[in-house]
Amino acid sequence: MARNVEIKARVGDFEALRRTAERLTDRPVEELHQVDTFFNVPRGRFKLREFPDGRGELIAYHRPDESGPALSDYHLLRTEQCEGIKSFLTELLGVRGVVSKRRLLYHIGSTRIHLDQVDGLGSFLELEVVLDEGDGVDQGVLEAGSVLEQLGMADAERISCAYIDLLAKEGSEPA
């Protein structure tokens, strides 16, 4: 099972944050459109992430709903059979909801910086500090804090849950 430390926060000035991330990054930005279909499961969260080119990823993860840095354990399986898998899982588990977003992906060291524009919710920053097998959670928490400071987001309003949960709390219908 892979692990990372995550922090999610609301973004006020998306363009300013984008410019800062571009200055700090050590790789070219990736522009992604992702549609995440969440399925009903008894524990954790389980989704099929679809990309416009037909590729997809099945992602099962467990992360506590905390506003600070939180450890996320996850499994990821890439697929090119999104339509069939979605139909199968919909019949088997039922759909909890759908989240559609445009994502800018930047990298600083072992941190993935996601600048997300989520349909029905607005703009967000999500940091994922990828932990190698021997890395402790404390290392990830320190790196996440450092990247937040570099981005000027140390005092940003933190989000403690997944976008799908936020859509449900705010009474929005997922896309």
Ordered by start, the domain boundaries in the chain are 2-169
173: pLDDT strictly greater than 60: no
Residue 175: the pLDDT is 43
- Tokens 């919710």 correspond to 121
User: Could you read off the pLDDT of 9-45 as tens digits, one per residue?
Assistant: 999 999 999 999 999 997 999 999 999 999 999 999 9
DSSP state of 80: S
Q: Give the tens place of pLDDT for each residue, 123-172.
A: 999 999 999 888 889 899 999 999 999 999 988 899 999 999 999 887 65
Check if CATH label 2.40.320.10 holds for domain 2-169: yes
pLDDT in tens, 66-96: 887 888 999 999 999 999 999 999 999 999 9
Q: Is 148 exposed, middle or buried (0-12, 13-18, 19+ CB in 10 A)?
A: buried
Strand pairing of 158-159 and 2-10? antiparallel
**Which tokens hold the place of 157?**
């309003």
Q: Are 79 and 37 in contact (CB under 8 A)?
A: no
Q: Measure Cα distances from 128 to 4, 18, 143, 175 in Å.
A: 6, 17, 10, 24
